[in-house]
Amino acid sequence: MLERWLETWKVSRLSRDLRVEFSPRLRRAFGRCYQSDRLIRLTPSLIGAQSYLMDEVLCHEAAHAAVYERYGADCQPHGKEWRLMMEAAGFEPRVRIPVVVRAGSAIRSAGRSAALFVHRCPVCRSSRKAPKQIHGLRCARCTREGKTVAMKIEAGRRARTRG
């Protein structure tokens, strides 16, 4: 499967160097791509998961490596080039996969509460939720407009998550 995607994306030379490994250290993501190291790490929880999930996560991470190989480091992580590669491989180009399996843990029930920190832009008032405080987080909207605005962290709160 991986070699077919690499051929489709016209980076078949990556098949010689691209390594895929499982790491129990991945707890908040299904996978990570380390482009300059030509390494994809996947969470072991994918081993027992539905095959479509493993395929989509592997394709997602391989597309990052392919974008880096073809276009260099200047592309956005989930930008136009990445989205086109995901579509060419037959997957919807999505950043998060809505499943009930959570990386590195047991099945997570839909609707279970999780603590979230709200990061809010003091200029445009846009917000972003995260499970931890991210100091120095910049507002994406203001950054696109040429402003450098640090988001303010509001107190953590319990929020309903969706499955």
Domain ranges of the chain: 2-88, 113-160
Whether 158 has a pLDDT exceeding 80, the answer reads: no
> Angle formed by the axes of helices 80-88 and 51-71, to 10°?
130
Q: Tell me whether residue 21 is one of the annotated catalytic residues.
A: no
Mean pLDDT over 122-127 rounds to: 88
Catalytic residue among 3, 61, 87, 154: 61
Whether 65 has a pLDDT exceeding 90, the answer reads: yes
CA-based nearest residue to 101, from 155, 20, 18, 42: 42
* pTM for the full predicted model: 0.61
Spatial distance between the Cα atoms of 152 and 147, rounded to a whole number of angstroms: 15
Instruction: Specify the fold of 2-88.
Output: Zincin-like (3.30.2010)
Percent of the chain with pLDDT over 70: 82
Q: What are phi and psi of 33, to 5 degrees?
A: -115, 125
Residue owning tokens 């790491």: 23
